[in-house]
Amino acid sequence: MTESAVHSHPAVERVRAALAAAGLAVEIVALPDAARTARAAADAIGCELAQIANSLVFRGETSGAALLVMTNGANRVDVARVAALVGEPVGKADAAFVRAATGFAIGGVAPVGHAAPVRTLIDRDLFRHAEIWAAAGHPHAVFRLSPDALLRFTGGAVAEVT
């Protein structure tokens, strides 16, 4: 996919608009290959795996509500801990649910610009780094930011999720 095609993709445009509305002037970087995993993103960017703000969508098993967990790319989410934090059992969401809840495909789920508001938990470990990288609405698009900016513009809650 060409750089201009990535930058003009509707989902990337939606992320760009949401970031601008939050007062963040960030550069969206087009990657030459899809980065559908945290490892692939870190390798493409040339950063540590722990600097990837991995976007994982879960589904509340009682409410059916979407939950976005932004975790350090080197960590694995503790589903029982997350369930205790949100007050209901949670399960991994399938691709159709992720797209319906966020408007993004798996591998490109951004922390902002969702189809509807999504409750967000942010892994405390992300705050160990001055800069982190998040998906920008497409598997070929990422942007750099600080953990504090992530917290500010998502309205998320910092938690021990791993």
pLDDT, residue 96, reads 97
* Residue 10: partners with Cβ closer than 8 Å, 6 or more residues away: none
Query: For 6-52, how does the pLDDT look when each residue is reduced to its tens digit (9 = 90+)?
Result: 678 899 999 999 999 988 888 999 888 878 788 888 999 999 999 99
Q: What is the mean pLDDT of residues 122-132?
A: 96
Mean pLDDT throughout 86-96?
Answer: 96
Q: If phi over 0 gives left and psi between -120 and 50 gives alpha, with beta otherwise, what is residue 14?
A: alpha
Domain boundaries, the chain: 3-159
Give me the pLDDT at residue 22, please: 87
Task: Tell me the average pLDDT of the chain.
Answer: 93
pTM of the model: 0.93
The CA distance from 35 to 45, in Å, is 10
Pick the CATH number of 3-159 from 3.90.960.10, 1.10.443.10, 2.40.50.40, 3.30.70.260: 3.90.960.10
